[in-house]
Structure formats: structure tokens, C-alpha cells
Amino acid sequence: MNILVVEDDPIAIEIINEILKKFSNVTIAKDGEEGLLEYKKSLLNKEFDKVFLDLMLPELNGIDLLKEINKIKKNCKVYVMSAIDDETIKKEVLEIGCNGYILKPIITEKIKKIMEEG
């Protein structure tokens, strides 16, 4: 399974990578533009099965990145990670096409459950 993680916080990257590397091949992008570039590159080779992205990203924010990914391919599973516990934002990203909203700090069991669901 190929996974893209778009996250700018080094500690969160370390935690997520440690969890995901047991399940899959992980690509890390540290801002929204890099995330979009990596996503587009994957379409030429082995596509990403899942994308985990932060909302508050430099260059291109998580909501705009989610919209761009959905323009390219609607059936990719995308999960938003954020420290923002706001029902309006959760509703917005779910309406845009997000498959799940993971509240930070990252809880290992939530990520493992998502990965085991396929």
C-alpha cells in the first residue's frame, strides 16, 4: 500500500511515519504544494492508496489540497489531521470528500484502525 503524508510538523511526521511504515510505503511532503506534486507524480507510477494531510499547511492549505486531489481522482481515500476541534471545519472537509477527520494529538490506534480497514 502506498501512502502520502502531507504534514509540516516534524514531531507529527515522526509519529505518523512510525505507525504507517509497518503497513505501507510512505512518502512525506512538508507543505501543500509538495503534497500536490507528489500526488500528481504518483499517478504516473504507483498511485497512492491513502493520503493523510494536515489542515494548516504552508504554501497550499489542507482544504485546498483536498479539493485539488478530488479534482484529479475522487476515489482516493483522504484523511485530514488537525488540532482544530471545530464541527464546522469537520463538516466542510467531509462534504468536500474527506474520508475521516483525525484530531491531534495523533492517536496511534486511530491510524492503525484506518490502515486495517483497507
- Mind spelling out the 3-state secondary structure of the chain? CEEEEECCCHHHHHHHHHHHCCCCEEEEECCHHHHHHHHHHHCCCCCCCEEEEECCCCCCCHHHHHHHHHHHCCCCEEEEEECCCCHHHHHHHHHHCCCEEEECCCCHHHHHHHHHHC
According to the per-residue pLDDT averaged within each range, which of 3-7, 19-23, 103-107 is highest?
3-7
pTM above 0.95, yes or no: no
Worst-scoring range by mean pLDDT, 13-17, 34-38, 46-50, 74-78?
74-78
Average pLDDT of the residues in 13-36:
93
Q: Could you tell me which CATH class the domain 2-117 is placed in?
A: alpha beta
Domain boundaries along the sequence of the chain: 2-117
